[in-house]
Chain A
Amino acid sequence: MKLLIKGGNLIGYDKPADILMDGGKVKTIAYDIVEQCDKVIDAKGKYVLPGLIDMHVHLREPGFEHKENIYTGAKAAAKGGFTSVCCMPNTRPVCDNESVVIYIKDQAAKADFCRVFPIGAITKGSQGKELAEIGCMKEAGIVGISDDGNPVENSQIMRLALEYAADFGVLVISHCEDKNLVADGIANEGYNATLAGLRGNTKAAEEVIVAREICLAETLNTSVHIAHVSTAGSVEMIRHAKKRGVKVTCETCPHYFTLEDSLLSSYDTNIKVNPPIRTEKDRLAIIEGIKDGTIDCIVTDHAPHHEDEKKIEFQYASNGISGLETSFALSYTYLVKAGHISLAKLVELMSINPARALKLPFEGLKEGCTDITIVDIDSPYTIDVAKFLSKGKNSPFNGYEVYGKALYTIRNEKIINCEVL
């Protein structure tokens, strides 16, 4: 099949160009391609980007299908403009063996809304005791390992995971949280939590583990990826580590550069997330980290929940934000449109860097490229959670006016019109 994407704006091109895809791969990028094609997409006035990648989502299947399943999660991802997502292993059963990996990949293939790359557990059952069968899971298709949500407490186990995973070329993704330090904290420890009478979760709980992972990666000369960085201190430590040549990469989420903790006064459970929404100082530090390259990737940490798990007391409410359908818009609006970074930089954060960190075969929009996302950055619209395709309507961004809407995703010969999913 031949596909012509006509007249779109491309990063690195000073005027609109055409893209010819043949057999699911970009064959030619040029001005004014004349070719008989099976399908033509008019991209005039739109931006044609390499397919967006979200390397940190929770699709909840198997085990928590009332919150989300692979079908609805992948569909939401496609609507958000993602051609690939990586799903975390905190399912039930935990994705700690090849059977679950294969199951997830099969379900994703059936849904066929985007590529789904499973992340395996670091330890069996994410219990933090024995390493999971990382090699077998790698053969089955994982691209990374993480005990997300149930972080590895024992430093020796983390050391072993870093050493062992390196041989298999599997990225270790660390959810940095010292659960003892968190104690019973449910909101960022600071003035606003004190004022609202909410038990504090100190930033040190994140930062001591970030420091640990940097020490381990530096000592062992292995790679480590820090998940959902939320504090100024974490950004600073990672910045310095990178300067020393430590093989550390990291990600943050839109809610960490758009929200700050004075929102706690509303007790709105949609802002309850882990790590918690931090202070304005942290928010600004996250933006600085994005600007100077300390932060490599933007991910959603898409954490859909059922309404019954959110329309309750703040203390009892589940952590998480349903983020797949707002990520690009929030990132575009609050980073690019706000003047902090260029669209090209955003594409690095949301496509090129995640692919590089995970060694995925996507390297930007060029000849041979298979995955493309076409976006409209000019038309403002209002986020409406009622229209989410994700089962999780838990978003604090309902009613936000944003720019940046995905129009099409293309994976090989699969073309998805994001607006009619």
Chain B
Amino acid sequence: MGRKDLLGLKELDASELINILDVAREMKKILAQGVKRVPHLQNKSMVTLFYENSTRTRMSFELAGKFLSASVSNVVVRNSSVQKGESLIDTGKTLDALMTDVIVIRHNCSGAPHLLAKNVKASVLNAGDGMNEHPTQALLDMFTMREKLGEIKGLKVAIVGDIKHSRVARSNIIGLSKLGADVYISAPGTLIPYDIEKMGAKVCPLDKAVEGANVVMGLRMQLERQQSGLIPSRKEYGRFYGLTDERMTKAAKNALVMHPGPLNRGVELTSEVADCGQSVINEQVTNGVAVRMAVLFLLTRGGRKI
């Protein structure tokens, strides 16, 4: 990429995004042939450093690294470096000393990957930081849209749910806007972040967001949002903001149903919607591996740029 790190989609321009998606397409071809070991990252070592629990993202990165022949190690940090006593920078310097080429970091604090990147020689790949970005999730979402619907330019994408706390939403709004999609978001007022429209998304009522949408993406509703008073109950949330068969009839014909997982069935979307023929939720998972292979390859490829 001509970059040491991938910290977010904010830093990338449209051509860089397209390049990643093109390379991911090649990676997916490899996977489709059942080849689970190619030599692209031979002699490279990758460490996943997760300060938050995650199964799917960590597994996806781990497999992507292994399929590319990297040596992969996992550091599981409970909660935070502060509680553990070692600072993030010290942990990073330790990983540097262990000759790590790529650190894949997930952290509960926005900007933590940026802090790490400034202080280590290794490439830093953001696997989700606080409420900021989750660039590979948005890339795999865009990859899926591109694969299913062709060009992203001109698509209407509705993102529904807890936008305020969602790094998936932020990365998607940024990436999709750069590639020319029209992004509509819908959520209770308590879950819409201040001035989000300046990022290029239009805030509107749920039915307007879904109407004619080519893609409808639900976001996970965390239980804590009820506890902190942002929604009265998940039941009420489901009634007014849940994606149901009836609501989906307003979407464009063959609209995709997407969700970054893990699902709360009956809350952000009903099982009928999650399991319908237009749902690509499981394909998103496969595409995630291809996208992460592409990013790992591009970040570690010396001398050439994404």
Contact call B80/A193, Cβ cutoff below 8 A: no
Q: Is A198 an interface residue (CB 8 A)?
A: yes
A197 in contact with B198 given A313-B112, A315-B130 (CB within 8 Å)? no
**Considering the complex, which residues of chain B in the window 101-119 have a beta carbon less than 8 Å from any beta carbon of chain A?**
107-112, 114-115
Complex CA–CA separation, A376 to B89 (angstroms): 40
Contact call B111/A313, Cβ cutoff below 8 A: yes
Q: Which of A190, A193, A265, A314 has the most CB of B within 10 A?
A: A314
Q: Please, what's the 1-or-0 string for A90-128, where 1 marks a CB less than 8 Å from any CB in chain B?
A: 000000000000000000000000000000000000000
Stretch in contact with the other chain, from B13-21, B36-44, B189-197, B267-275: B189-197
Contact call A313/B194, Cβ cutoff below 8 A: no
Contact call A197/B87, Cβ cutoff below 8 A: no
Contact call B88/A313, Cβ cutoff below 8 A: yes
Size bracket, chain B contacts? 20 to 34
Q: Is B98 an interface residue (CB 8 A)?
A: no
Q: Is A1 an interface residue (CB 8 A)?
A: no
A-B contacts counted at CB < 8 A amount to 74
Complex CA–CA separation, A200 to B190 (angstroms): 12
Contact call B132/A196, Cβ cutoff below 8 A: yes
Q: Which of A183, A197, A202, A265 contacts B170 (CB 8 A)?
A: A197
Q: Is A306 an interface residue (CB 8 A)?
A: no
Q: Please, what's the 1-or-0 string for A184-204, where 1 marks a CB less than 8 Å from any CB in chain B?
A: 000001110111111110100
Q: Is A316 an interface residue (CB 8 A)?
A: yes
Interchain nearest-CB distance for B3 vs A (Å): 16
Contact call A199/B131, Cβ cutoff below 8 A: yes
CB-defined contacts of B89 to chain A, threshold 8 Å: 311-312
Interchain nearest-CB distance for A197 vs B (Å): 3
Q: Is A267 an interface residue (CB 8 A)?
A: yes
CB-defined contacts of A196 to chain B, threshold 8 Å: 110-111, 132
Interchain nearest-CB distance for B288 vs A (Å): 21
Q: Is B10 an interface residue (CB 8 A)?
A: yes
Complex CA–CA separation, A65 to B111 (angstroms): 29
> What residue in chain B is nearest A312 (Cβ atoms)?
B87
Contact call B131/A197, Cβ cutoff below 8 A: yes
Q: Which of B10, B109, B198 contacts A313 (CB 8 A)?
A: B109
> What residue in chain A is nearest B199 (Cβ atoms)?
A195
Contact call A197/B195, Cβ cutoff below 8 A: no
CB-defined contacts of A292 to chain B, threshold 8 Å: none
Contact call B80/A316, Cβ cutoff below 8 A: yes
Q: Is B167 an interface residue (CB 8 A)?
A: yes
Q: Which of A183, A194, A316 contacts B194 (CB 8 A)?
A: A194
Closest 10 CB pairs of A and B: A197-B132, A267-B111, A191-B195, A313-B109, A197-B110, A197-B131, A315-B109, A194-B193, A314-B111, A191-B198
Other contacts beyond A191-B194, A197-B130, A197-B133: 18, CB < 8 A: A183-B228, A194-B196, A195-B10, A196-B132, A197-B129, A197-B131, A197-B167, A198-B110, A200-B194, A202-B194, A267-B110, A267-B115, A313-B81, A313-B107, A313-B109, A314-B109, A316-B80, A316-B109
Enumerate chain A interface residues (CB-CB to B < 8 A).
183, 189-191, 193-200, 202, 265-267, 308, 311-316
Selected A-B contacts with CB under 8 Å, 5 pairs: A195-B170, A196-B111, A198-B111, A312-B81, A313-B88
